Amino acid sequence: MYATDEHREIAVLISGGIDSAILLAEAVRERPAVYPLYLRNGHYWEEVERAHLDRFLEAVRAPTLRPVQVLDVPVGDLYANHWSVTGRGAPGADASNESVDLPGRNVLLLSKALVWCHLRGVPELALAVLKGNPFADATPEFFEAFQGAVNRAIGGSMRVVRPFSGLSKAEVMRRGRDLPLERTFSCIRPLRGLHCGRCSKCAERRRAFVESGIADRTEYADAP
């Protein structure tokens, strides 16, 4: 999976979503030690997301999988009344990609995650960035520059790796077709502990299952 030394430990930014869950599962099979990093921002969906994540981690438990590390990066003071914090007005199924942009998200996540890796001697940090990601903080140029800036700031030598950067979501899902993908979580306005079924992320999830040819066993609170 990784064009790096497979004998090295690695940390994986894990959200509970499909892409990062598959990335983690592959790393668990290939690396001597894998540290799942969950960045808690205070978003509306996090309690439900974390419950799904714990169930997925239990399903892929292995000697190489280390306990999940929760790092707090609160954004309430930055995003204020943003839908991602309040849950009100979350983009619906027909919304554009731009409508679900969280400003500076990768800047916030990577800065703390990379320092965590540096302090614990973990040389690589993996993200499940996919081909065609439209946001400015998901380009190769951004990752190269940000990795370099953090390393210069703390005298580190960590690498940010993106093994799925040349793959579509459907291609990634086919790699994880044997995993319990119903335990992953993609929704931005969950209802009763379930995917709402009507937000933009639920719509994206449904399309991805169809395009990948994998049965969608997700339980949705509502259907469009």
Superfamily of domain 10-212, CATH level 4: HUPs (3.40.50.620)
pLDDT band of residue 3 (cuts 50, 70, 90) is very low
Average pLDDT of 171-176?
97
Q: Report how far residue 121's alpha carbon sits from residue 118's, in angstroms, rounded to the nearest whole number.
A: 5
The pLDDT of residue 99:
82
Main-chain phi, psi angles of 13, to 5 degrees:
-70, 115
The pLDDT of residue 2:
47
pTM: 0.93
pLDDT band of residue 222 (cuts 50, 70, 90) is confident
Average pLDDT of 26-42?
97
Q: Report how far residue 5's alpha carbon sits from residue 199's, in angstroms, rounded to the nearest whole number.
A: 39
Helix (H) or strand (E) holding 114, with range, is: helix 105-120
Amino acid at site 70: V
For the chain, what is the mean pLDDT? 93
Please report, for the chain, the start and end positions of each structural domain, with discontinuous segments joined by +. Answer: 10-212
How many other C-beta atoms can be found within 10 angstroms of the C-beta atom of residue 60? 20
CB 10 within 8 A of CB 122: yes
> If DSSP codes are grouped into helix, strand and coil, which group holds residue 218?
coil
